[in-house]
Amino acid sequence: MTLLSYVKIWLACARYSIVRTMMFRFDFLMWALVEFGWMAVNLLLIAVIYRHTDDIAGWTKYQMLLLVGTSMLVQRFIMGFFWSNLFEMARNIRSGHFDFFLAQPGSPLFMVSTRKLDLDGIANSFVAMAVVAYAIDKLGLAPSFIDLALYALLVLCGVLINYGALLMIVSLTFWLGAAQGIEGSYFTMMEFSRLPRETFRGAANVIFVWILPAVIVSNVPARALLHGFEPHNAVWLLATTALWLGLGIAVFNRGLRRYASASS
């Protein structure tokens, strides 16, 4: 299949998701409000903490707001574009309904990753963008178009790192038959992306900064806006993106060869 064919398939899936969401408007509104409430709690927590201190690990209030907004942006994109698809993949593997995707003419990985959009997550990504814009204004920053484009690229890297990690975790269902506990631990781990890298010391620094991609997905893009382009951080994030995306695809393809289908 050509690239244009994949674009047409994705657009058709997006249209289906929008039509389906409009059929269940209350469900969409409820989940959008739930996500918005969770984001509001995080922002209120920052306001409360900074009533008692001027900085945390060298990060001022609005620098922290920029970091948390970046973390929210990455997570909202993951929730909007991939979360439901990958979790549904795990259920389909267990039930045998995964055969449906193998019967499609395109790549199974593309089909299972892009079938649905969660519009509540996508809608709240604009809230996260507003938080980032507000922090930029309060910090008195004046990023150029190139700075914003670089920030967008680094956020995209964060999204792809999360996608690769989630894909790898969910693909373990090919061997384990279930991955609910592991999926939950992933979400807990990514909560660390709201914290500055400087707060991690010793073993925590090794685990959450260097081994797992929990911290750099938000810290590197935020630092690019705060301190300008830092080549070593950009290269680090790009290399981490290639590593985790490659691991996710490799584990998925290995599991695909193991899948026995519903007919077995």
135 with 36: CB under 8 angstroms?
no
How many C-beta neighbours within 10 Å does residue 62 have? 19
pLDDT score of 161 = 94
Give the separation between CA 155 and CA 148, rounded to whole angstroms.
10
- Per-run averaged pLDDT (10 residues), the chain, 264 residues: 84 87 81 83 89 88 94 92 86 80 83 88 90 94 93 95 91 76 69 87 86 89 91 93 95 86 58
Percent helix, strand, coil in the chain (nearest 5)? 80, 0, 20
H-helix or E-strand spanning residue 60: none
Q: Which helix (H) or strand (E) element contains residue 24?
A: none
Tokens standing for 174?
């090919």
Residue with tokens 């003419």: 105
Residue 190 is predicted with a pLDDT of: 77
For residue 181, the model assigns a pLDDT of: 63
